[in-house]
Amino acid sequence: MTGSVAVEQRGNVLIATLSNPPTALMDGEIVVGLLALARRADADSDVGAVVLTGDHPTRFVAHFNVAEILSGAEQAPRLSKQMLRAGLRATGAALRVPGAAKLLMRGPFIGAIALETFTQTLLAIESCSAVWVAALNGDTGGGGCELALACDYRFMADGPYSIAQPEIFLGFPPGGGGTQRLTRLLGAGRALHMCLEGTPKTPADALAYGLVDRVVAPERLLEEAVEHASRLGRRPKTGIGAVKRAVRFGGSLPLEDGLRLEAGEFLAAISTPDSIEAQRAYVDRTNELGDVPIANPDIRAAVIERGRFV
């Protein structure tokens, strides 16, 4: 059976439920569904946030379907690492050509196409102008952990559940960004330990490690995730996207390059109609009060609750 992504809208939040019974494996169909979801969330002005969860009673995502990985590995030609990296760059370029993916999926590069699609999907989530919250309703491993790492917040259900990068036991590293995102989130030492050990972390361990942001009673998990997502999703989308891209993509660059990336996001955002309207309202209110509005506790509280100045 292939996986699916069921989406419902609750206010300004899209709730996406990942399904692939009976094992809760991630597969190519789920990846395609997530990419479509990221594009929808980015383009729809009525959507400020996305919450991901799973429909399995004890699993978010078990891991990526190893049968799909094996199929790609068996069909792929044996090439050097340098040639493989060059091939992945070419694959990324080819995927931007309409119809190319379907043709390539019939050939020996099916594994590279699938990996590049997963990579582009997670990058789309990271650059999306909506807040993403992973509500980890159970065990999360491999590609499921990588998906959670691409989200802006991770809430994990309390209980006999775990999160891990166990790929090492099959003789390969994480391939969907696990080594890179763990390093950026936790530091090189902890990332190395997680990927070399491959052992699962309990909710309490994951929270102490900095891998998840909150541990929640299972019956409250989705509700708290949606509440959090809805509150942050009320902030202007131009600001959300700019902050995410500056932090995600600029934070790992040399300082001067990161500053330029941030400046580019800043300059693009301040000239949007929504931002100009908010800036004008702020200046007008400053003149009216004779002081900066944000210094007023009542105004500040109202702005934080509303998520925007106007």
Residues assigned a catalytic role: 146, 167
Residues 6+ apart with CB under 8 A from 260: none
Burial status of residue 295 (CB atoms within 10 A of its CB: 0-12, 13-18, 19 or more):
exposed
**How many of the other CB atoms lie within 10 Å of CB of 297?**
8
CB 229 within 8 A of CB 133: yes
Q: Closest by alpha carbon to 144, among 14, 24, 7, 16? A: 24
Helix H, strand E, coil C: the string for the chain is CCCEEEEEEECCEEEEEEECCCCCCECHHHHHHHHHHHHHHHHCCCCCEEEEEECCCCEEECCECHHHHHHHHHHCCCCCHHHHHHHHHHHHHHHCCCCHHHHHCCCCCHHHHHHHHHHHHHHHHHHCCCEEEEEECCEEECHHHHHHHHCCEEEEECCCCCEECCHHHHCCCCCCCHHHHHHHHHCHHHHHHHHHHCCCECHHHHHHHCCCCEEECHHHHHHHHHHHHHHHCCCCHHHHHHHHHHHHHHCCCCHHHHHHHHHHHHHHHHCCHHHHHHHHHHHHHHHHHCCCHHHCHHHHHHHHHHCCCC
